[in-house]
Amino acid sequence: MPYSRKYDVLIIGSGGAGLSLALKLADHSMRVAVLSKFALTAGSTYYAQGGISAVFDAGDSIESHIEDTLDAGGGLCNPEIVRLTVTHGKSSIDWLRKQGVAFTEEQTESGEIKLHLNREGGHSHRRIVHTADATGKAVSLSLIERAQEHSNIELFEYHNVIELITTQSPDRYGKRVVGSYVLDTRKQRVKTIAARVVVLATGGASKVYLYSTNPQSATGDGIALAWRAGCRISNMEFMQFHPTCLYHPHAQSFLISEAVRGEGGKLILPDGSPFMQHFDPRAELAPRDIVARAIDHEIKKRGIDCVYLDISHKSESFIREHFPTIYRKCLKFDIDITKQPIPVVPAAHYTCGGVLTDSYARTDIANLYAIGEVASTGLHGANRMASNSLLECLVFADRASEDILQKIAFIPAVPKIPDWDESKVIDSDEEVVVSHNWNELRHFMWDYVGIVRTDKRLSRAMSRVELLKKEITEYYSHFRVTSDLLELRNLVIVAELIIRCAQQRKESRGLHYTLDYPETDNSKPPQNTILTP
């Protein structure tokens, strides 16, 4: 039997951005549906360790936070968007505390209780509000609890979006979004969900690479959905590689928080000698692109498997109090970080580009918004500064809610949507095709479109992508959709967008470093890379 439901707002994604927006809208009596591809806690927000950047310290300032962000962004940040985001830092933290998020506090010598602030790479002051080393988990669980209690929010776990549904309206809207087709992966049936407003809050695309700090859900779904629907995509060449991922054969891409370096952790070679001072005067506190390239350089130059991050010079009580999650995780692999350095390598971490949006999170299609990592707002430019990501989620959830609340009453009713047609497809007996293509894609993206690139590598990658796209399209047209197939279909689009953007940028800037053009082109104002369907 066909299944269809109607809501005021459909939010695709259950991380910090999606749930924040859902709560803000539901408080104004709007009926909101939130889709989660897996469990509600499966997104990147839940796994975020470091924290949220915001100016609280008396010695810090909004201007300093803005300057640090612009510097890290390699000349491509939108200054107006940076100021907008940074000035809402404190109010965003205050809102989270009202939702029940308990941030780490400290007592001053005068007996005052205040927020404890960490410092991370690229920041000139301590301004990272955190909950020990599991900030994202605290934020995620609090928002989920609030959403589950709210009568105007309906949460759907294990629902993977197949396609956005758009229509051409005769009125001033032109092309507008009216809902989506969704695969209920538990019941293996396709649902039609209609909504006057649709919001992409699907996170990033780092699983396009072989090694990533991200959870399995980060397959660029929202970017691919928006691209197929007709939205412009921006700056996909700027894929951020986190410098310090735990290197162990049995560890699945476990991130070692930048806060470890912020609290004095030193990057060292196998012989114990430090090396970051040779690459940047800020050493371990340089922005992520510089640190990741430095580690990559040392690994390849010396033929070693990894470098090491050493915090063992700090007291055991300090380490266990500040980094309890990292301490416990490493101990499972017989690494006692109070006595031993941590083996680390870079891994794909954050998507700085994405669906092009304006200051209210609006995309090119009427009533379609994008918030969080899926969006390209202009905040991060060529390189995201540490802990600005969760801040962006909160600020643009608020901006989107403001715009939606103003216009929802004037959005026309959703027209009748045809049901999903499965009459010409069958169940697949060749699932190995999906897994094989998935592995091939992630391998050549890591080898050819990783931390260091060349024109030849990019050309090889594009040739592989074009072949895979044909295979995947043919497979998709003949067999019933599965969650794995949907992810693969989206990933190959994301890979193509990354390569196309990288091929267009004939310079090295921020996270995009190419041996063919190793210098930054300062002969003209820097330009964003924008692709149009």
> Using N-to-C axis directions, what is the helix angle for 135-149 and 389-407, rounded to 10°?
20
CB 122 within 8 A of CB 68: yes
CA distance linking residue 140 with residue 142, whole number of Å: 6
DSSP state letters, 376-387: E-SSSTTSPPTT
Helix (H, G, I), strand (E, B) or coil at 362: strand
Residue 236's closest CA among 374, 101, 134, 389? 374
- Residue written as tokens 């891409």? 253
Q: Which of 146, 196, 261, 288 is catalytic?
A: 288
The answer to whether residue 288 is catalytic is yes
Q: Torsions phi, psi of 47, nearest 5?
A: -95, 0
H helices within 37-177, ranges in order? 44-47, 62-72, 79-87, 89-98, 135-149
CA distance linking residue 358 with residue 81, whole number of Å: 9
Please give the torsion angle defined by the CA atoms of residues 206, 210, 214 and 216, in that order, rounded to the nearest 10 degrees.
100
CB 383 within 8 A of CB 511: yes
How close are the terminal C-alpha atoms of the chain, in Å? 35
Provide the 8-state DSSP code for 409: G
Phi-psi region for residue 389, left (φ > 0), alpha (ψ -120 to 50) or beta?
alpha
**Would you mind telling me the total number of residues written for the chain in this entry?**
533
Report the DSSP pairing between strands 307-310 and 342-351: antiparallel
- Residue written as tokens 């497979």? 475
CA-based torsion, 75, 76, 79, 83: positive or negative: negative
- The set of catalytic residues is 288
